[in-house]
Structure 1
Amino acid sequence: MTALEALLGTYHLSFWGLWLILFTVLVQSTIATIAHRKQAKYIPGLLDERLGHGSFVFRSHRTFHNSLENTLLMFAPALLAIIVGVDPTWLAIWVWLYAVARIIHMVLYYAIATERNPSPRSYFFMLGFVCNIAVFVLVAMRLL
């Protein structure tokens, strides 16, 4: 067994969780693109400034961009955690919890048109944020 095979085996669940996170962002990109293109008048790459949470085009765009803004904060520390050899079970728990929180955040953002803050999606955003912190802590503890 090569070192890479051992690494893939040890962190198998974490890699699948990271795959799900990236796949979710791909799905969000696709949904946002389709929603944007279905508008009667649209300019590729531009979102009408007058749109708000009542517009699915706006919500799908913000969901995708919110994930772009946050995914690196989980993906990079998770890869660093694998490199430094953190406990694979704890890493998998935090990665999967993040992946599920982001999916629920996405579904709620698509379904609920509200300007209210916090909204139901905010709680899942915060859960994802806690997962980010937890992975950073795992890495720091391993490096100490």
Structure 2
Amino acid sequence: MPEGISPFASYAMALAAVYALLVMVFVQSLVAAVAHRAQKSYVPGVVDEALGPESFVFRSHRTFMNSIENVPFMLGLILLAVMTGFDAWWLSLLSWVYVGGRLAHMITYYLVATRKNPSLRSYFFILAILAQLLLMVMLGVSWL
């Protein structure tokens, strides 16, 4: 490798997707914290169980919690892919599809208050999960 070029240079787009994903989750945490603190009966760390999708406090909290539940697995797959020399083009594509799905999920969850299932946000959730599943399968197959 030429001097001054990082061994991770071929993964620059995938790593940029990781950065975007981390920024998005950070923003979600801030939005949820601000929404939570704006309530009249604010108790730190407690979201009223009576709240539903009609409440932005509920939606912002669930958006953040959903990311906390799902994003670490994708970060683990991306890390594993980089460490094993997985194809950089596919990793970048699938990482950005995942980020796009998560971003669209976040925006629709913030803007659309519904109890309907599947809702519009569900389709974006599925898009992200499919990108994750495809990466997991392709990564596994690459070891065969």
TM value normalised by structure 1 = 0.96
Q: How many residues were matched structurally?
A: 143
Structure 1 Cα separation of the partners of residues 121 and 133 of structure 2: 19
Tell me what 1:6 maps to: 7
Alpha-carbon offset, residue 4 of structure 1: 8.0
Greater than 6 Å deviation, 4+ residue runs? none
Alignment of 1:12-91 (within 5 A): 12-91=12-91
Alpha-carbon offset, residue 11 of structure 1: 0.2
| Cα offsets for 1:3-62 (capped at 9, x unmatched) | 98122x110000000110111000000000000000111110000010000000000000
Structure 2 Cα separation of the partners of residues 120 and 85 of structure 1: 36
Identical pairs, percent: 42
Alpha-carbon offset, residue 138 of structure 1: 2.1
Unaligned runs of 5+ in 1: none
Residue 139 (structure 2) pairs with residue 121 (structure 1) = no
1:25–1:64 CA contact under 8 A, matched in 2? yes
Higher relative helix content: 1
1:81–1:138 CA contact under 8 A, matched in 2? no
Structure 1 Cα separation of the partners of residues 64 and 143 of structure 2: 33
Tell me what 1:103 maps to: 103
